[in-house]
Structure 1
Amino acid sequence: MDDLYRRYAGWLKATLRRQFAPDQAEDLVQEAYIRLAPYQAAGGIRHPQGLLLRIAQNLAYNQARRAGRERRRDARFAETSQDHGHHADAEQTQVVLYRQILEGLPTAYRDVFVLNRHGGLTYEQIAAHCDLPLKTVEWRMSKALALIAARMRD
């Protein structure tokens, strides 16, 4: 292996520097020799110069593919994060709007609506709790829903 390194390392480094950045070329030379070792151990290599160049080019190709995948993954992540940020902003805006609409409802309508939608009480339970007829609770709820819908459209 030492003989192969002394013989071809300078040539391989010069060849790779024409195709790649100097730092990348040096890394490719080192990695190519590491990858060449099993071939050397298995037996004689007929064309070590060609094999070294092919190994180094394949390594560079794999690095470029990996970098491309990472750039695409990072772009998707940034896009997803950006979409999530917009979604979160829109969601917060809707919450604020909803609260403003609820605060703008007349107290009688708001109480019935909140007890039903946020308190989980049935109309019968609201009627008993507020000491109101069931029909009044139903009417107030329908009015509250109509007002909320109208204000959401605005």
Structure 2
Amino acid sequence: MDGPGAEAPVEERPTLEELYRRHSRWLTAILRRRFDPQQAEDLMQETYVRLGPYQARGEVRHPKGLLLRIAENLAYNQARGARRDRRRVDRLAEVSRCHEPYTDAEQLQALLFKQVVEALPQPLRDTFMMSRYAGMTYGEIARHCGLSEKAVESRMSKALALIAAWMRD
């Protein structure tokens, strides 16, 4: 396969059918050694589909090398897609576990936490809520409240210490 300027004359180009007849058994044998028979068959068929544009442009100078490269790339893309699909399924399973009903102990713990946060002094509660629930950074909270970042850090430290102490009791 050379660049576009190295096209073979149309009459000298083997057709896709001729390339298939010449090389399909060879390619199938290689793919079956590397993959299960069904995947090998699918890869072989898709490889010839992908070979079509190269053949039409007359860019097939070393058919075996090109066929093998196309098949390997297809196999790699399939494996990458399968990994991506497994990660997606794992993430969905994790999300669905998050929506399972709480046990009585978990509900009691969540209720206690809510009461503890509500019992914090107003400045500490506001700072805690902006950080943990609104997702604001200390710098954003400082600008919003007209405080220094050090003051925000101090409020968060006090809020976390109170929450931890109350939750232990």
Q: Determine the C-alpha separation between the residues in 1 that align with 2:64 and 2:74.
A: 15
Matched to 2:88, the amino acid is R
State the partner residue of 1:89.
102
RMSD of aligned residue pairs (Cα, Å)? 2.6
* TM-score under structure 2 length normalisation: 0.52
Which of structure 1's runs of 4+ aligned residues deviate more than 4 A? none
1:62 and 2:81 correspond:
no
State the partner residue of 2:34.
19
State the partner residue of 1:46.
61
What's the CA shift for 1:78?
0.2
What's the CA shift for 1:89?
1.8
State the partner residue of 1:75.
90
What's the CA shift for 1:44?
4.1
Q: Determine the C-alpha separation between the residues in 2 that align with 1:58 and 1:90.
A: 49
Identify, as 1 or 2, the structure richer in helix. Answer: 1
State the partner residue of 1:32.
47
Deviations 1:76-132 (A, max 9, x none): 1101111221xx4259x749xx8xxxxxxxxxxxxxxxxxxxxxxxxxxxxxxxxxx
**Number of positions where the alignment pairs a residue of Structure 1 with one of Structure 2:** 98
Deviations 1:53-97 (A, max 9, x none): 110010000000000000011001101111221xx4259x749xx
What runs of 5+ residues in structure 1 fail to find an aligned partner?
A: 99-152
> Partner of 1:89: helix, strand, or coil?
coil
